[in-house]
Chains A and B, each alone.
Chain A
Amino acid sequence: MTTTDIGVNDDTGQGADGRRPRPWEGGFWLSEWAFPLLVASLASGIFAGTHLYYTYQTGVFNEVAVVALLKAGMENGSYGAAAAFGAGFLFARIIEAPMVGILDIGGSLQTGVGIGIPAMLLAAGVTAPLEHFWLALPTGAVIGLAIGWLVLVIRRATLNSPDAGSTFGADVMMGAGNSAGRYLGPLVILAAATASVPVGLGSTLGAILFYWWKKPLTGGAILGAMAAGLFFPIAK
Chain B
Amino acid sequence: MNETLTILLESAVIGALIGFGAGAGVARMFHAPKAQGMGAFRTLGELNACENDPIAHFSFGFGFFFNAWASTVGAGALSGDVDHRIVPHWAASIAMFKNRNLAETLHNPRRMALTGAAVGIVLISLLNTTAASIPHSLQSVASQVLGPASDWLLNPVMPIIFWMAAVDAGRRTGGWGTVLGGIAHIVMGNAVPGIVLGIVVGKGIDDMGWNRITKSLTAAVVALFVASSFLRGVDMDLLEQMKIGVPGWLHQLHESTGTAGQ
Contacts and interface: CB of A to CB of B under 8 A. Distances in A.
Contact of A78 (B41, B104, B258): B258
B8 to A, nearest CB: 11
Given A91-B227, A152-B36, A219-B55, A191 B102 contact: no
Interface stretch (B20-28, B235-243, B245-253): B20-28
Contacts, number: 414
A56 B59 contact: no
A61 B82 contact: yes
**What range describes how many residues of B lie at the interface?**
35 or more
A30 B107 CA distance: 10
A218 B60 contact: yes
B122 interface: no
A45 B142 contact: no
Interface in B43-92: 44-53, 55-60, 62-63, 66, 71-72, 74-80, 82-84
A45 B149 contact: no
A68 B22 CA distance: 24
A191 B80 contact: no
B111 A234 contact: no
A42 B38 contact: yes
A12 interface: yes
A183 B137 CA distance: 26
Nearest to A84: B231
Name the prevailing secondary structure of the B interface residues.
Answer: helix
Interface in B205-262: 206-208, 211, 213, 217, 220-221, 224, 227-228, 231-232, 257-259, 262
A166 B51 CA distance: 30
Nearest to B148: A191
B179 interface: no
Nearest to B117: A41
Contacts of A201: none
Contacts of A131: none
Nearest to A79: B258
Nearest to A72: B262
8 contacts: A42-B21, A56-B3, A64-B74, A80-B257, A80-B258, A88-B231, A95-B197, A180-B153
Given A35-B36, A61-B18, 5 more contacts: A35-B28, A59-B124, A88-B188, A106-B84, A161-B213
